[in-house]
């Protein structure tokens, strides 16, 4: 719920989320039925939309509960569902009038399959990530009367999105039920079969070999070219990510899209710089410029993450003119130079003033605050709840 609110606050028009069933977000604290209703009411009050992911590839025994579930989703007013499987598509069609988006898991790479989904009654198709901008242009031209959505940012699979049993085989965690352990990003060695337990490292370079290890997708540098194609929706993948990552990515793409829509588009290098400030595994433009080869440097040569900034607190509540309640996410010390991020505009530099720790007993003035604590501070500058405070690392 917190991530949903932050995504809207920083400029998202809609959020795709997972309920407790039938989605690919098994590990990311999904929404109960009551929370789903709360999310829908919250979104609609802000003029935003909520789509519910039903994009598992189910087996027979998983279908029984589906009709009642989709009827419930329609009753609480969700704006649409996202499906990958024809059977699920039919259950939604037979039981509701919900708008249906076809998931990227359905691997739509050509105009014929997009047209087929349109003829079946889909409102939108989320195109496969494994597709070039030229192919998107052709699909748009040949099937003009369906909404198209493209991924612009987030994790990539080393297989065709989600069509992979690596995690399932190695850990029993099923990628097609949203529980992928991301086994493709692990470090692999060679074992000779008569010497079990002797792991011989394979060195591609000084970091090792990460043969299955894709970089993350980032299209901010070509966002104008994507918008030129006339697509209807841009998707940022934020599954399992923190609020800083989600908010910051949404803010940068929002700014770029608004600039494009103003008719005075000019690429701003700050967008990429800011995107790199949150946790990432190096970026690629994936398949959009054609088949990624050596040159596109599509795989990552290590399995670590990098970032230039760290979230230290979120403004939980505005208590008075310049007084705020901060939810501390990483240890902070009075006197530190920090930056406050707001939905619009550049980060603003502050020196962290004295803090008052909020406790169950008597509040006390403190020099430092630890994660999961709440402090009150006085900061001038007109900030709001959900603004974030970060430090340069
Ligand atoms: S193991 Fe890697 S390639 Fe396979 S589904 Fe998970 S993220 Fe995708």
Q: Write down the pLDDT at residue 30.
A: 79
Q: From the CA of 173, how far away is ligand 1's center (Å)?
A: 11
Report yes or no: 213 and 158 within 8 Å, Cβ to Cβ. Answer: yes
Total residue count of the chain as it appears in this document: 393
Q: Write down the pLDDT at residue 293.
A: 65
User: Relative to the CA of 185, which ligand 1 atom is closest?
Assistant: 2
Q: Write down the pLDDT at residue 167.
A: 87
Report yes or no: 226 and 288 within 8 Å, Cβ to Cβ. Answer: yes
pTM: 0.90
- CA triplet 173, 174, 176: central angle to 5 degrees? 160
Looking at residue 352, the DSSP 8-state letter turns out to be: -
Report yes or no: 278 and 6 within 8 Å, Cβ to Cβ. Answer: no
Cα-based distances in Å from 77 to 15, 68, 70, 73: 14, 15, 11, 6
User: Relative to the CA of 180, which ligand 1 atom is closest?
Assistant: 6
Pocket-testing residue among 27, 128, 164, 213, ligand 1, by greatest number of atoms within 8 A of Cβ: 164
Q: From the CA of 176, how far away is ligand 1's center (Å)?
A: 10
Q: From the CA of 210, how far away is ligand 1's center (Å)?
A: 13
Phi first, then psi, for residue 84 (nearest 5°) are -120, -20
Pocket-testing residue among 57, 128, 183, ligand 1, by greatest number of atoms within 8 A of Cβ: 183
Residue nearest to atom 8 of ligand 1 (CA): 157
Q: Write down the pLDDT at residue 295.
A: 45
Q: Write down the pLDDT at residue 245.
A: 95
Q: From the CA of 331, how far away is ligand 1's center (Å)?
A: 34
Q: Write down the pLDDT at residue 129.
A: 93
Q: From the CA of 211, how far away is ligand 1's center (Å)?
A: 13
Residue nearest to atom 5 of ligand 1 (CA): 162
Q: Write down the pLDDT at residue 26.
A: 52
User: Relative to the CA of 155, which ligand 1 atom is closest?
Assistant: 7
Q: Which residues pair with 17 in a beta bridge?
A: 52
Report yes or no: 58 and 174 within 8 Å, Cβ to Cβ. Answer: no
From first to last of its 393 residues, what are the pLDDT tens digits of the chain? 999 999 999 999 999 998 877 665 555 567 888 999 999 999 999 999 999 999 888 889 888 989 999 999 999 999 999 999 999 999 999 999 999 999 999 999 999 999 999 999 999 999 999 999 999 999 999 999 999 999 999 988 888 887 888 888 889 888 877 778 888 888 788 888 899 889 887 776 666 666 677 888 999 999 999 999 999 999 999 877 899 999 999 999 999 999 999 999 999 999 999 999 988 888 999 999 887 765 445 656 555 678 899 999 999 999 999 999 999 999 999 999 999 999 999 999 999 999 999 987 788 999 999 999 999 999 998 999 999 999 998
Pocket-testing residue among 26, 151, 156, 157, ligand 1, by greatest number of atoms within 8 A of Cβ: 157
Q: From the CA of 344, how far away is ligand 1's center (Å)?
A: 35
Q: From the CA of 158, how far away is ligand 1's center (Å)?
A: 6
Q: From the CA of 337, how far away is ligand 1's center (Å)?
A: 39
pLDDT in tens, 264-322: 999 999 999 999 998 888 899 999 988 776 544 565 655 567 889 999 999 999 999 99
pLDDT in tens, 194-233: 998 898 877 766 666 666 778 889 999 999 999 999 999 9
**Any residues with Cβ below 6 Å from ligand 1, and which?**
157-159, 162, 164, 166-167, 175, 180, 182-184
């Amino acid at each position: 719920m917190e991530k949903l609110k932050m995504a809207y606050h920083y400029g998202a028009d809609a959020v795709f989320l997972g309920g407790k069933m039938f989605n690919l977000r098994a590990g990311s604290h999904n929404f109960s039925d009551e929370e789903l209703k709360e999310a829908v009411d919250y979104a609609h009050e802000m003029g935003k939309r909520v789509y519910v992911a039903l994009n598992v590839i189910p087996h027979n025994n998983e279908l029984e509960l589906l009709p009642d579930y989709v009827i419930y989703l329609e009753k609480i007013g969700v704006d649409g569902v996202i499906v990958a499987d024809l059977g699920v598509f039919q259950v939604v069609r037979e039981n509701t009038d919900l708008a249906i988006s076809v998931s990227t898991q359905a691997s739509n790479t050509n105009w014929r399959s997009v047209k087929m989904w349109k003829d079946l009654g889909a409102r939108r198709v989320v195109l496969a990530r494994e597709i070039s901008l030229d192919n998107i242009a052709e699909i748009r031209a040949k099937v003009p009367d369906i909404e198209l959505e493209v991924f612009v940012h987030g994790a990539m699979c080393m297989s065709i999105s989600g069509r992979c049993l690596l995690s399932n085989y190695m850990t029993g965690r099923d990628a097609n039920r949203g529980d992928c352990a991301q086994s493709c990003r692990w470090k692999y060695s060679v074992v000779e079969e008569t010497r079990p337990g002797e792991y011989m490292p394979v060195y591609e370079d000084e970091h090792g070999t990460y043969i299955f290890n894709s970089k993350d997708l980032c299209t901010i540098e070509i966002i104008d070219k994507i918008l030129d194609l006339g697509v209807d929706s841009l998707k940022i993948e934020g599954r399992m990510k923190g609020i800083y990552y989600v908010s910051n990515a949404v803010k940068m793409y929002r700014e770029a899209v608004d600039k494009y829509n103003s008719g005075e588009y000019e690429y701003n290098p700050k967008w990429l710089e800011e995107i790199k400030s949150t946790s990432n595994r190096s970026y690629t433009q994936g398949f959009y410029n054609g088949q990624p080869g050596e040159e596109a440097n599509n795989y990552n040569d290590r399995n670590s993450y990098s970032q230039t900034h760290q979230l230290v607190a979120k403004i939980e509540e505005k208590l008075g003119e310049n007084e705020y309640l901060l939810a501390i996410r990483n240890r902070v010390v009075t006197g530190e130079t920090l930056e406050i991020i707001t939905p619009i505009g550049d980060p603003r530099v502050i020196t962290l003033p004295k803090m008052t720790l909020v406790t169950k007993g008597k509040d006390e003035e403190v020099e430092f605050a630890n994660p999961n604590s709440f402090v009150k501070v006085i900061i001038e500058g007109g900030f709001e709840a959900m603004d974030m405070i970060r430090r340069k690392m």
